[in-house]
Chain A
Amino acid sequence: NAGVTQTPKFQVLKTGQSMTLQCAQDMNHNSMYWYRQDPGMGLRLIYYSASEGTTDKGEVPNGYNVSRLNKREFSLRLESAAPSQTSVYFCASSEAGGSHQPQHFGDGTRLSIL
């Protein structure tokens, strides 16, 4: 059981380049999330999708877009990468968006913007 799979695991971009981070889950979860993690700042929510067909902004959405392609897949796009977006990105999913549901995380994508 793979759980939450993120690709790529590592990526180096130049400022201004674009790219899409991919995330897929095989747990039949309804809700999916994208976080970034920077040293000393914990996990910050970028966007989330409560269910297939819906997306909403989190705490730090600027510079990002998302697509909930289907129930399994939730992608994060950087249209014009900036050095401030250098971070570790985690995708997560939960069974439903209800308050009591814990989240399951992928292994992360380590992204460097030069």
Chain B
Amino acid sequence: QKEVEQNSGPLSVPEGAIASLNCTYSDRGSQSFFWYRQYSGKSPELIMSIYSNGDKEDGRFTAQLNKASQYVSLLIRDSQPSDSATYLCAVNLNTGGFKTIFGAGTRLFVKA
């Protein structure tokens, strides 16, 4: 079992719809969770971080964390064609060190 799993997609949604991206992780002691957006040929950029159970909203983005279920998600409201990218879920492991595990990413296409 991979430590951080994401559906590779592609996930296709129409413009203006809600895109829902999901991620599961295996290390129950993980404390920090991040979503990065990566456009084709570019580097990852941080869009959301979440550390506590529940929802965290930032503009059109909402991150949701459920530590009991070892599940983290990202909702993108009012999706725009500019949101088309690969979204990487990242988890900081509870190793006492600095190890971050990235999922393989979900490709999102927003159709105009």
Using a CB–CB distance below 8 Å, which chain A residues touch chain B? 31, 33, 35, 40-45, 48, 50, 56, 58, 90, 94, 97, 99-108
Contact = CB atoms under 8 A, between A and B. Distances in A.
| 4 tightest Cβ-Cβ pairs between the two chains A and B | A97-B98, A42-B104, A43-B102, A105-B43
A58 B99 CA distance: 7
B11 to A, nearest CB: 16
B32 interface: yes
Given A42-B103, A58-B99, A100 B43 contact: no
A48 B32 contact: no
Nearest to B49: A102
Interface residues of B, number: 25
Contacts of B104: 40-42
B70 interface: no
A91 B60 CA distance: 29
A64 B61 CA distance: 38
A103 to B, nearest CB: 7
Chain B CB within 10 Å — which of A40, A43, A56, A90 has the most?
A43
Nearest to A91: B43
Contacts of B34: 102
A99 B103 contact: no
A90 B36 CA distance: 14
A108 B43 contact: yes
Given A42-B103, A56-B97, A58-B99, A104 B46 contact: yes
Contact of B44 (A43, A50, A56): A43
Given A41-B104, A42-B88, A43-B88, A99 B46 contact: no
Contact of B46 (A31, A102, A107): A102
A35 B34 CA distance: 16
A100 B98 contact: no
A102 B90 CA distance: 9
